[in-house]
């Protein structure tokens, strides 16, 4: 006889189930009741055991007032303020940008609880259509306002054939224990070019889930960068399908973690058609008791001949208590491809430290110089000068945060 012991549900799961039922998502609620949140036994969540890590789910937010100052300001950008998932300020869109709202969620269905919850609770999606060559940076400023709330948001970035643009999404909010579940769907039209930056500057008690879904038409080009320095617990999921010949995906990530942060980037990219390329570079700087996770999977379908995909993960560990977990995976069904992956992890170069200090540079400053050198490669390709400076500022702010001697 095979009796399945019922899953014991914690308060976070009970709350989620109630919210899902309230939104009429009974099937998902039942599934969550039966399975519970994923534990380390679920492969995709092996390093981020949500059942253990997600302690509480706050109430869905009351419409609140927007927080005053943006956490990230890019001079000259066109800013769209989205507070607690609702569009607040649209302003006058620059040439080539059409902003609208559509009903319902935007993510594709997927057997994943983070995606499931977003699909169930996202009432509407902010649609940003990029029609031509858009000059200013489009800044989607997502905020969690007021008291702790379970904030769900959904954005569609639709880049027309031949159009080009730079879109920045920043996530921030009040210093409360928000749970945010954001979705961004990006459609790249034929020959479209997009630079897409996602920056997390959420408060230090926030739990943040963000799912990015990319679709590539022929000859399209993406330069993506996820920069995480906020949140207590975060998981960024990147799902991409390169389904247009000649398309190129450049996916980059930078996790700057300290204290007791747990920061996960999980990427799943499929090369579905022949003659496509991708380059993935993920870097982590971890200090104190922080934990950073990178799971990267590249799947090359059987007829995706001539795929060229290179994935690299580089970790810098400052101190013996930080943890960097990396799981790169290649699943290749085509026979004529160039694919590779690598993963390295280490502390600051001792010889370089000695050299700098022998010139009178104090330890802390020498460490900062070497950390900057380590992350610079990910900032260099950001062409917009103001945006580049803003992102450098995020790195500088992180470096300036109080910490023990890093390489002790």
Partner 1 sequence: MTTPMLEIRDLHVRIEEENKAILKGVNLTIPHGEVHAVMGRNGSGKSTLSYALAGREGYEITDGDVLLDGESIVDMEPDERAAAGLFLAFQYPIEIPGVATMTFLKAAMNAQRKAREQEELSTPDFRKAVREAAGKLSIDTDMLKRALNVGFSGGEKKRAEVLQMALLQPKMCILDETDSGLDIDALQIVSEGVNGLRSPQRSMLVITHYQRLLNHIVPDRVHVFSDGRVVESGDKDLALELESKGYAAFDGVPA
Name 75's Cβ contacts closer than 8 Å, sequence gap at least 6. Answer: 386
Name the DSSP class of 72: S
Question: What is the closest distance, in whole angstroms, from the C-beta atom of residue 401 to partner 1 in the complex?
Answer: 20
Closer to partner 1 by Cβ: residue 127 or 372: 372
Q: Which of 365, 383, 397, 401 binds partner 1 (CB under 8 A)?
A: 365
Closer to partner 1 by Cβ: residue 32 or 356: 356
Residue 33 DSSP SS3:
helix
Confirm or reject binding of residue 360 to partner 1 (CB under 8 A): yes
Q: How far is CA 97 from CA 163, 166, 215, 361, in A?
A: 10, 11, 19, 48
Question: What is the closest distance, in whole angstroms, from the C-beta atom of residue 366 to partner 1 in the complex?
Answer: 8
Question: What is the closest distance, in whole angstroms, from the C-beta atom of residue 365 to partner 1 in the complex?
Answer: 6
Question: What is the closest distance, in whole angstroms, from the C-beta atom of residue 19 to partner 1 in the complex?
Answer: 46
Question: What is the closest distance, in whole angstroms, from the C-beta atom of residue 104 to partner 1 in the complex?
Answer: 45
Question: What is the closest distance, in whole angstroms, from the C-beta atom of residue 362 to partner 1 in the complex?
Answer: 5
Q: State the number of CA atoms in the 13 A half-sphere of 113 facing the CB.
A: 24
CA distance 361 to 91: 48
CA distance 51 to 39: 5
Query: Which of 200, 183, 207 lies closest to 56 in space, CA to CA?
Result: 207
Closer to partner 1 by Cβ: residue 92 or 358: 358
Name the DSSP class of 45: G
Q: Which of 8, 69, 358, 400 binds partner 1 (CB under 8 A)?
A: 358
Question: What is the closest distance, in whole angstroms, from the C-beta atom of residue 360 to partner 1 in the complex?
Answer: 4
Check if the beta carbon of residue 143 is closer than 8 Å to that of residue 153. no
DSSP conformation letters of 87-148 = EEE--PPPTTEEEEEEES--SPP-S-HHHHHHHHH--EEEEEEE-SB--SPEEEEEEE-SS-
Confirm or reject binding of residue 376 to partner 1 (CB under 8 A): yes
CA distance 331 to 71: 39
Closer to partner 1 by Cβ: residue 7 or 361: 361
Question: What is the closest distance, in whole angstroms, from the C-beta atom of residue 352 to partner 1 in the complex?
Answer: 5
Confirm or reject binding of residue 157 to partner 1 (CB under 8 A): no
Closer to partner 1 by Cβ: residue 90 or 357: 357
Query: Which of 196, 315, 324 lies closest to 263 in space, CA to CA?
Result: 324
Query: Which of 170, 174, 155 lies closest to 64 in space, CA to CA?
Result: 174
Closer to partner 1 by Cβ: residue 281 or 372: 372
Binding to partner 1 (CB under 8 A) within 267-306 occurs at none
Question: Binding marks (x or -) toward partner 1, 387..406, rule CB under 8 A?
Answer: --------------------
Query: Which of 129, 126, 103, 110 lies closest to 189 in space, CA to CA?
Result: 129
Confirm or reject binding of residue 354 to partner 1 (CB under 8 A): yes
Confirm or reject binding of residue 373 to partner 1 (CB under 8 A): yes
Q: Which two tokens stand for residue 386?
A: 């103001």
Closer to partner 1 by Cβ: residue 31 or 363: 363
Name 271's Cβ contacts closer than 8 Å, sequence gap at least 6. Answer: 242, 278, 298, 299, 300, 301, 304, 307, 309
Confirm or reject binding of residue 359 to partner 1 (CB under 8 A): yes
Q: Considering only 123-131, 244-252, 366-374, 382-390, which stretch makes contact with partner 1 by CB under 8 A?
A: 366-374
Q: Which of 104, 352, 383, 393 binds partner 1 (CB under 8 A)?
A: 352
Question: What is the closest distance, in whole angstroms, from the C-beta atom of residue 378 to partner 1 in the complex?
Answer: 11
Closer to partner 1 by Cβ: residue 339 or 357: 357
CA distance 313 to 190: 30
- The site for partner 1 (CB under 8 A) is made up of 349-352, 354-363, 365-366, 369-370, 372-374, 376-377
């Amino acid at each position: 006889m095979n009796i399945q012991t019922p899953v014991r549900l914690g308060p976070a799961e009970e709350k989620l189930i109630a919210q899902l039922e309230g939104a009429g998502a009974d099937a998902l609620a039942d599934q969550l009741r039966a399975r519970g949140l994923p534990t380390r036994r679920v492969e995709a969540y092996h390093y981020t055991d949500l059942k253990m890590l997600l302690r509480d789910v706050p109430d869905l937010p009351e419409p609140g007032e927007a927080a005053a100052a943006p956490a990230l300001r890019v001079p000259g950008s066109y800013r769209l303020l989205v507070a607690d998932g609702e569009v607040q300020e649209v302003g006058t869109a620059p040439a080539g940008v059409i902003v609208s709202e559509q009903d319902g969620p935007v993510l594709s269905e997927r057997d994943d609880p983070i995606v499931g919850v977003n699909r169930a609770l996202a009432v509407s999606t902010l649609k940003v259509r990029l029609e031509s060559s858009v000059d200013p940076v489009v800044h989607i400023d997502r905020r969690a306002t007021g008291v702790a709330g379970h904030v769900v948001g959904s954005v569609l970035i639709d880049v027309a054939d031949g159009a080009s643009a730079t879109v920045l999404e920043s996530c921030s909010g009040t210093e409360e224990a928000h749970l945010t579940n954001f979705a961004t769907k990006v459609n790249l039209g034929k020959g479209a070019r997009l630079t897409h930056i996602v920056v997390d500057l959420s408060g230090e008690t926030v739990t943040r889930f963000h799912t990015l879904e990319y679709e590539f038409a022929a000859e399209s080009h993406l330069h993506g960068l996820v920069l995480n320095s906020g949140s207590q617990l975060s998981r960024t999921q990147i799902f991409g399908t390169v389904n247009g010949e000649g398309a190129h995906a450049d996916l980059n990530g930078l996790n700057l973690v300290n204290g007791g942060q747990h920061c996960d980037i999980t990427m799943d990219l499929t090369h579905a058609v022949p003659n496509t390329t991708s380059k993935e570079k993920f870097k982590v700087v971890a200090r104190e008791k922080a934990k950073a996770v990178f799971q990267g999977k590249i799947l090359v379908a059987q007829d995706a001949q001539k795929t060229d995909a290179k994935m690299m993960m580089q970790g810098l560990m400052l101190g013996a208590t930080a943890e960097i977990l990396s799981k790169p995976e290649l699943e290749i069904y085509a026979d004529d491809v160039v694919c590779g992956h690598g993963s390295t992890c280490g502390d600051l170069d001792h010889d370089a430290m000695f050299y700098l200090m022998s010139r009178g540079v104090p330890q802390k400053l020498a460490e900062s110089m070497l950390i900057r050198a380590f992350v610079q490669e990910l900032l260099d390709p950001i062409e917009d000068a103001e945006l580049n400076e803003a992102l450098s500022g995020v790195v500088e702010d992180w470096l300036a945060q109080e910490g023990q001697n890093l390489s002790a």
